[in-house]
Chains A and B, each alone.
Chain A
């Protein structure tokens, strides 16, 4: 063996042999360089005078750091969420446990194996970040702080996703849970910072992405960075320790058939009374799959969010309040969106992996029925999510009512926009799930596409409203951002209902197009012979 750490070697070799590693690397480099060049071109202007870029480093720094954080927070978990559960699924985890490697070695080596490529990708971006310093306008300390925050975020995210993959059975579930934990840490950090008075915002260290924008944990400088590093390492260690503990306890839970948790048992007995008379897939999606039962969690999150918003308002800490509220609502929406996308892709691709689709295809159910009923759980989740976001929005706008009430049209346009965007993105995920046969690949592709159309135009869009004004028509997040801005600025003259309506209409058309295409060709994509007139799916053997 070339490596003294066998699992690290195996992980690295495995990743190096996958095509998708290179696709992601290429996409990452293109996005990074494309963003840099586009912003640079805008800064330099039509005259092409490079001197105009001097002192404009911050304009380059902000979107670049944003992209890097988005990569670490959203793409890294997509690759790490299958670290343990995929080994468990194939049975190779048991084989590893039979070797001299202990649970500690397995977890640490897996962690290192997944972290090294991420750190390499971040290292590639470092020269680009340093360029922003050479333009001026960005302090070296700020740059070092951001670079350190990126590295510790990568460590933190990898540790969380590794632990989630040890807890949950599917990569999609682990991905959703990782995003959820990061969102919870960020909300807690910002919430506590806005609620508790004082100059030293220690709590920001709980979330490196939040801390990087708020440099003054203890007034900036090396001390802030040190606190951030220590906190991130401590949280990572807790998650890694939990993963080790779970692997250590695996033998007992598996051989002794642990009793079903009480909540599961109660839910099962409730659902057992309602067996499916017709539409069995819709029944299963509603009663069995986690995505179909989000109401408890969503209602809980909703209540917490409303209380936090009102609490922040009452605390009177205006410095962080509006930012916190914006982040909370955007985070809720974005997190919910990613979870519903992951759930949608998983609903299709996991059935393929388990070969339950094959069995369903031999029943009289049509592809149209199967696909429509599969979406029921996801739709339920989305409606709950929308309700939560709109309730939060209403609570927030009520608190600003005293200054200037928003027009009723605002709520209508926003609600329509949110519904349309969620629908559009989920049908995009369905399309990817139908076309890509492997579960993990389908999840990664769907998330990358959605990440691309959501976040990239948002990051570079506002910088170039002149050049990329079309961003709002493409990106649901840009649209969301546009629609939200008047609420925070209380400038209702900036709210253009017609524009919001036009974008919503455009997105609705895409939604309709995607959904009708998927439903029309469901039988063919799902694999029924009479519809397989175009055998593109059979280019490679599925076995």
Chain B
């Protein structure tokens, strides 16, 4: 059974329908990417899962608990990071952590060790006594994540955590989430930075105008929309005969020649990248370079969405 089950979730603000009956599931230990343009309903859905907003219709179960009947129990199992991180500027990093340790009623004798561990995990030991006001956005984000982990939750809800971060902070954040995933945490992360999610998530859900337009494992999703993948190849020798043979490989729709480099456009539903390498070698060509482009999540997103808001 999936750890998170959302069935026909509907949320309205007066006459405005923000979420129109979406359903999705997240198996335990998976990282679910929640993708959608601004105003699609991502934050509303996350707020429902964080027990901060009551749905008008639909059921939400987290760890087998029904949100409508056991929100208090659910709260003890979730860690929530809002888009602005929810930090108190007037406290130091250590005080902030201690504040929430007290709020979660963690025994006093465990607090200091726990906070030191979390600050070390998020690489903030050196900023332990610095006022939060002086921390960079990346550090605030890590501090907020450390805070969300203080009561050892099973499920993490991260609302646009990577927005506004510099490339280094983003890569560090990605690595940190991988650590959390390896620790067995189930994670829901919303973002509109698509290639970040593609590298990190095991499953994604694409939401637009309050409706889930696609949901499933990343590879499967890309395959389902028939997105072409591009592979850059360099051969030791390129003759007309070789080119003819390469063009006849099943699944290759087009080959663009750019100097010594060849750009293979392959249809993912018919041929995968590993097969392509074998097939090229099968023609007798000697491969000097073989570089598949990252999965084109953005193309999938553009194809699946229409650019409308609820």
Contact = CB atoms under 8 A, between A and B. Distances in A.
Q: Do A and B bind each other?
A: yes
Contact of B14 (A359, A362, A538): A538
Interface string B48-64: 10111110000000000
Interface in B228-266: none
A280 B95 CA distance: 10
B52 A356 contact: no
Contacts of B80: 358-359, 362
B76 interface: yes
Contact of A280 (B16, B39, B75, B100): B100
Contacts of A539: 13-14
Contacts of B158: none
Given A361-B52, A365-B103, A288 B88 contact: yes
Given A358-B86, A539-B14, A540-B14, A528 B51 contact: yes
Nearest to A366: B72
B88 A260 contact: no
Interface string A515-532: 000000000000111101
A362 B52 contact: yes
A288 B83 CA distance: 24
Given A364-B75, A539-B13, A284 B53 contact: no
A356 B75 contact: no
Contacts of B92: 268, 272
B104 A363 contact: yes
A345 B108 CA distance: 32
The listed residue with most A CB atoms (<10 A of its CB), out of B54, B76, B88, B103, is: B103
B90 A289 contact: yes
Contacts of B99: 276, 280, 283-284
Contact of A275 (B79, B88, B95, B105): B95
A465 interface: no
B86 A364 contact: no
B50 A530 contact: no
* Chain B, interface residues (CB within 8 Å), range: 35 or more
Contact of B53 (A268, A355, A527): A527
Interface in B127-156: 129, 131, 134, 147
Given A284-B99, A355-B86, A541 B16 contact: yes
Interface string B71-82: 110011011101
A356 B54 contact: no
Contacts, number: 115
Given A278-B102, A363-B103, A529-B51, A356 B88 contact: yes
Contacts of A532: 53-54
A252 interface: no
Nearest to A542: B13
A323 to B, nearest CB: 41
B225 interface: no
Interface in B98-133: 98-100, 102-105, 108, 129, 131
Given A527-B53, A539-B13, A363 B88 contact: no
A277 interface: yes
A355 to B, nearest CB: 4
Contacts of B18: 541
Contact of A363 (B47, B75, B82, B90): B75
Interface string B17-60: 01000000000000000000001000110011011111000000
B156 to A, nearest CB: 11
A490 to B, nearest CB: 48
A279 interface: yes
A276 B92 CA distance: 13
B142 to A, nearest CB: 15
A395 to B, nearest CB: 36
A528 B95 contact: no
A354 B103 contact: no
Contacts of A355: 82-86
A363 B98 contact: no
B13 A538 contact: yes
Contacts of B14: 538-540
A543 interface: yes
B104 A277 contact: no
Interface in A485-527: 527
Which one of A356, A359, A530, A532 has the highest number of Cβ atoms from chain B below 10 Å of its Cβ?
A: A359
Contact of A260 (B51, B84, B95, B131): B131
Contacts of A535: 54
Contacts of B75: 362-364
Contact of A358 (B52, B100, B104, B134): B52
Interface string A273-312: 0011111110110001100000000000000000000000
A275 B91 CA distance: 11
B67 interface: yes
B87 interface: yes
Contacts of A278: 102, 105
Given A268-B92, A272-B95, A364-B75, A543 B100 contact: no
Nearest to B42: A543
Contacts of A260: 131
Nearest to B44: A543
A249 B47 CA distance: 40
Contacts of B108: 277
Contact of B98 (A275, A288, A364): A275
Top 5 closest pairs, chain A to chain B, by CB: A359-B86, A280-B102, A363-B103, A541-B13, A355-B82
26 contacts: A260-B131, A275-B95, A280-B98, A280-B100, A281-B103, A284-B88, A284-B90, A284-B99, A355-B82, A358-B52, A359-B147, A360-B103, A362-B75, A362-B78, A362-B80, A363-B104, A364-B104, A365-B103, A528-B52, A529-B53, A529-B71, A532-B53, A532-B54, A541-B44, A542-B13, A543-B44
Interface of B: 12-14, 16, 18, 39, 43-44, 47-48, 50-54, 67-68, 71-72, 75-76, 78-80, 82-92, 95, 98-100, 102-105, 108, 129, 131, 134, 147
Interface of A: 257, 260, 268, 272, 275-281, 283-284, 288-289, 354-356, 358-365, 527-530, 532, 535, 538-543
Given A257-B134, A276-B98, 16 more contacts: A272-B95, A278-B105, A279-B102, A283-B99, A283-B102, A355-B82, A356-B86, A356-B87, A356-B88, A358-B80, A359-B82, A361-B52, A363-B103, A528-B51, A541-B18, A542-B13
